[in-house]
């Protein structure tokens, strides 16, 4: 059981380049999330998808777009990368019971450097 799989694990971009981070989960979870982790800032929510076909902004959505391709896959796109987007990105998924969010399951992260 792979859980949450992210690709790529490492990426170096130049300012202005675009790229897509891919995420897939095999736990049949309804909800999926993208977080970024920066030193001293904890984990901050970029976007989330409560269910297939829906997406919504989190705390720090500027400069990002997302696509919930199907129930398994949730991608994060940087259209024009900036040095401020240098970070470690984590995808997560969860299930809900009676409207209460359950445990978040995280991938191993994608380390992005923007030069």
Partner 1 sequence: QQQVKQSPQSLIVQKGGISIINCAYENTAFDYFPWYQQFPGKGPALLIAIRPDVSEKKEGRFTISFNKSAKQFSLHIMDSQPGDSATYFCAASPSGTYKYIFGTGTRLKVLA
Residue numbers of the site for partner 1 (CB under 8 A)? 4, 31, 33, 35, 40-45, 48, 50, 58-59, 90, 92, 94, 96, 99-101, 103-109
In Å, how far from its chain's centre is CA 63?
13
Q: How far apart are CA 24 and CA 74, in angstroms?
A: 6
Q: Is 1 or 103 the residue whose CB approaches partner 1 more closely?
A: 103
| Residue 43 beta carbon to partner 1: minimum distance, rounded to whole angstroms | 4
| Residue 46 beta carbon to partner 1: minimum distance, rounded to whole angstroms | 12
Contact 52, 71 (CB under 8 A): yes
């Amino acid at each position: 059981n792979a859980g949450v799989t992210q690709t790529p694990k490492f990426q170096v971009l130049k300012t202005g380049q675009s790229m897509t981070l891919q995420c897939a989960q095999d736990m049949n979870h309804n909800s999926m999330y993208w977080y970024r982790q920066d030193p001293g800032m904890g984990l901050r929510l970029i976007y989330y998808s409560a269910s297939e076909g829906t997406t919504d902004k989190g705390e720090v959505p500027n400069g990002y777009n997302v696509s919930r391709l199907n129930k398994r896959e949730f991608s994060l796109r940087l259209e024009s990368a900036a040095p401020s987007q240098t970070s470690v990105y984590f995808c997560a998924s969860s299930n809900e019971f009676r409207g209460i969010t359950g445990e978040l399951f995280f991938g191993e992260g994608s380390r992005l450097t923007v030069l």
